[in-house]
């Protein structure tokens, strides 16, 4: 008998790779934080002596969700400026609040609130884009969460930096350099949008990103107004400007991409650009619906993100995945445009690919980190079960997520967050609400 750290025996195991596989009566073996074996349960019983043996007779075990785009700290602004279109939402709601309250303390508390919500709803990795990224990285490490931490760059001053060169210097000194080869944290550049950066700064960013071998994450073609304004100001669409500056390549994670022509989609596919599709944020801000079926037909890798909780208003990848599948069917007039299995892949392995982490996470394969989520399907609204993946995608709710492991660490145990003081976190959230809601003086 061989010793192993943990052996999980779910009713169904959906590894995502190979595609469409559903393993019944199998076990997943964890050693030193990584998946070391996936094998029939009877063989596992004969082969391994685990420190922890976890039987889950009603559960489906999947790779943890990868939230391909969010702004974790903005969870403190959840519900603060609802029912507005993007420009008014930013200019009347979010930016004035950030001007007054953006700080390391706010980012720490907001990121912790977001990570607690993400782990409790089955997410094991997120791609972030916000100020004080060194605090985002530190908070993720403290809570044992996997993250790709995006460092913001813009020409405008904020509480974090004064101008583009200070943003870049701080990004290098505080985030990119310290987290090289970290087991939980990877980093990327995260310019907010093409309208927030000059051509010169984009060129500097491209050179630095190439040197550091990190990706670039940017909001792109989110609204029709963004395209019209860019055309008026620069004589070209944001996509064309990025292309001319040499940034449309396999290191680009383009967020939203709601309004794209067929020609632009073909160029994306050719260049190997990844897309973070954030359907509920696009719906809520009335930005539109991204042509996901077209992207997939063209061979573009489409991942799923929630965007920040200020424009969603949750970080729940189960419902985001369901929304992505349903919208793709309706917009393509094709009920098979995104199947349940496709949707699960978009929310896991496609996300890992979009973050450059497909070799480390996103599927249940020996050698990868044990980033796993277990969901209890023994609920009235999930019964009876003809196809467990369909039930997962079309019926499961976040409160059915019972267990989550990140790099083998059991962070959600039978529905309880193990390392987070939720009472204290709730209290801090209420205090932030009182500060944000206080009359502006």
What is the binding site for Zn ion (CB under 5 A)?
307
Report, in Å, the least distance between residue 255 CB and Zn ion: 6
Q: Which is nearer to Zn ion, 85 or 299 (CB)?
A: 85
Report, in Å, the least distance between residue 281 CB and Zn ion: 7
Nearest to 90 by CA among 163, 190, 192: 192
CA distance 45 to 65: 28
Nearest to 277 by CA among 418, 48, 89, 70: 70
CA distance 11 to 55: 9
Q: Which is nearer to Zn ion, 226 or 307 (CB)?
A: 307
Report, in Å, the least distance between residue 69 CB and Zn ion: 6
Q: Which is nearer to Zn ion, 305 or 388 (CB)?
A: 305
C-beta of residue 35 within 8 angstroms of C-beta of residue 364:
yes
How big is the chain, counted in residues?
441
Report, in Å, the least distance between residue 138 CB and Zn ion: 21
Nearest to 208 by CA among 258, 251, 253, 161: 251
DSSP assignment of 366-401: TTSB--EEEEE--SGGG-S-S-HHHHHHHH--GGGE
DSSP assignment of 300-341: -EEEE----GGGSS---HHHHHHHHHHHHHHHHT-TTSS-HH
Q: Which is nearer to Zn ion, 239 or 405 (CB)?
A: 239
Which residue is it, tokens 């082969």? Answer: 47
Q: Which is nearer to Zn ion, 287 or 341 (CB)?
A: 287
Q: Which is nearer to Zn ion, 219 or 368 (CB)?
A: 219
Report, in Å, the least distance between residue 311 CB and Zn ion: 7
Report, in Å, the least distance between residue 393 CB and Zn ion: 24
């Amino acid at each position: 008998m061989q010793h192993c750290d943990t052996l999980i025996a779910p009713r169904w195991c959906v590894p995502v790779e190979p595609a469409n596989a559903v393993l019944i009566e199998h076990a997943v073996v964890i050693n030193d934080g990584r998946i070391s074996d996936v094998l029939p349960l009877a063989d596992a019983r004969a082969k391994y002596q685990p420190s922890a043996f976890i039987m889950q007779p009603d559960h489906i075990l999947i790779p943890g969700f990868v939230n391909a785009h969010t702004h974790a700290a903005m969870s403190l602004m959840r519900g603060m400026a609802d029912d507005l279109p993007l420009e008014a939402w930013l200019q009347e709601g979010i930016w004035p609040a950030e001007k007054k309250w953006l700080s390391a303390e706010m980012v720490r508390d907001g990121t912790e609130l977001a990570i607690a919500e993400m782990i409790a709803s089955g997410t094991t990795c997120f791609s972030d884009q916000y100020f004080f990224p060194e605090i985002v990285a530190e908070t993720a490490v403290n809570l044992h969460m996997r993250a790709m931490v995006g460092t913001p760059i813009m020409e405008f001053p904020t509480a974090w930096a004064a101008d583009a060169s200070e943003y870049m210097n701080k990004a290098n000194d505080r985030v990119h350099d310290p987290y090289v080869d970290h087991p939980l944290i990877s980093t990327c550049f995260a310019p907010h949008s093409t309208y927030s950066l000059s051509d010169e700064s984009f060129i500097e960013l491209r050179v630095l990103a190439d040197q550091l071998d990190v990706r670039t994450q940017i909001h792109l073609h989110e609204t029709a107004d963004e395209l019209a304004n860019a055309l008026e100001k620069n004589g070209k669409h944001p996509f064309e400007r990025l292309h001319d500056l040499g940034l449309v390549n396999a290191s680009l994670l383009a967020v939203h991409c709601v309004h794209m022509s067929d020609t632009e989609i073909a160029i994306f596919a050719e260049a190997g650009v990844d897309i973070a599709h954030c359907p509920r944020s696009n719906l809520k801000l009335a930005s539109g619906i991204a042509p996901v079926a077209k992207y997939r037909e063209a061979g573009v890798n489409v991942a799923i993100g929630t965007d920040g909780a200020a424009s969603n208003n949750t970080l729940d990848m189960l419902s985001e995945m369901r929304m992505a599948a349903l919208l793709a069917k309706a917009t393509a007039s094709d009920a098979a445009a995104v199947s349940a299995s496709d949707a699960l892949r978009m929310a896991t392995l496609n996300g890992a690919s979009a973050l450059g982490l497909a070799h480390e996470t996103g599927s249940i394969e020996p050698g990868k980190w044990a980033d796993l989520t277990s969901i209890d399907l023994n609920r009235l609204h999930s019964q009876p079960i003809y196809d467990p993946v369909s039930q997962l995608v079309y019926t499961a709710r976040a409160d059915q997520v019972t267990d989550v492991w990140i790099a083998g660490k059991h962070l959600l145990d039978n529905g309880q967050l193990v390392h987070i003081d939720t009472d204290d976190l709730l209290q801090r959230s209420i205090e932030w609400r009182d500060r944000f809601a206080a009359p502006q003086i």
